[in-house]
Amino acid sequence: MDKERMIETIRSGMPERRWRHVQGVIETSIVLAERFGADPAKAELAAILHDLAKYWPVDRMEAYIREEGVDLDVLDYDKELWHAPAGAYAAAKDFGVADAEVLDAVRWHTSGRESMTRLDRVVCLADYMEPSREFPGVERIRELAESDLDAALAAGFDSTIRFLLDKGKRIYPLTVTARNGLIRTNT
Ligand code: DGI
Ligand code: FE
Ligand code: FE
């Protein structure tokens, strides 16, 4: 599917305010990719795709995850995590995206993973700090992102983990693994 048709399909599957978020992630991903040495074109494509399944009915997300069969453990955790692997599979299956690095950046944009690639980190951080995002601590994340990709993203995961703890929710273990991997030991 060509880029324009992909954008129209994704845009029509979400409310206007969510599309503004996606536009913010696109712009921020490109800036961060240039700043930290990831491929800006891949960052842009991953950003366009990253929330494509966000407004799917939960049953559809679950069906995609089960059909693909590679991320079944996520089904034991918060449904908010599901749009990421469901979206990555849909990008490949329905939109014909073949770039594995881009698909991984979509797949891991919510949970994070062990040893995140530069592209994974750029898209995930852009998702936290794009201009329309507002939550306690976002300014600190933006400051850190001026110079330190890993510290900024670690601060993002910290805020999510804190939020989940306060709500008494389960934490997906990969998020803890991702956060630990971003923090340099003994410094
Ligand atoms: O899709 P977005 O709203 O743009 O952002 P996202 O893909 O980072 O989704 C974040 C949501 O997922 C946020 O409300 C917290 C929720 N969530 C639930 N359990 C977990 C989790 N996020 C992470 N990273 N880890 C979890 O275990
Ligand atoms: Fe998301
Ligand atoms: Fe997002």
Exposure class string for 66-104: b at 16+ Cβ within 10 A, else e:
eebeebeebeebeeebbbbbbbbbbbbeebebebebbbb
Q: Ligand 1 in contact with 44 (CB < 6 A)?
A: no
What is the rounded (10 degree) CA torsion for 145, 34, 90, 8? 100
Q: What is the pLDDT along the chain (187 residues), one digit of tens a residue?
A: 899 999 999 999 999 999 999 999 999 999 999 999 999 999 999 999 999 999 999 999 999 999 999 999 999 999 999 999 999 999 999 999 999 999 999 999 999 999 999 999 999 999 999 999 999 999 999 999 999 999 999 999 999 999 999 999 999 999 999 999 999 776 5
Measured by CA distance, the residue closest to atom 11 of ligand 1 is 80
How far is residue 161's CA from residue 143's CA, in Å, rounded to a whole number?
20
- Cβ-based neighbours of 73, under 8 Å, separated by 6 or more: none
Are 36 and 149 in contact by the 8 Å Cβ rule? The answer is yes
- Is residue 119 a contact partner of residue 46, using CB atoms and an 8 Å limit? yes
- What is the predicted ipTM? 0.97
Rounded Cα gap, residues 112 and 120, in angstroms:
8
Nearest CA to ligand 1 atom 4: 127
**Does residue 29 line the site of ligand 1, with CB under 6 A?**
no
Give me the CATH topology for the region 3-182: Hypothetical protein af1432 (1.10.3210)
Token digits of residue 132:
């329309």
Mutate to test the pocket of ligand 1, among 81, 111, 162 (most ligand atoms within 8 A of CB): 81
The ligand 1 atom at the shortest distance from the C-alpha of residue 109 is: 7
Structural domain boundaries of the chain? 3-182
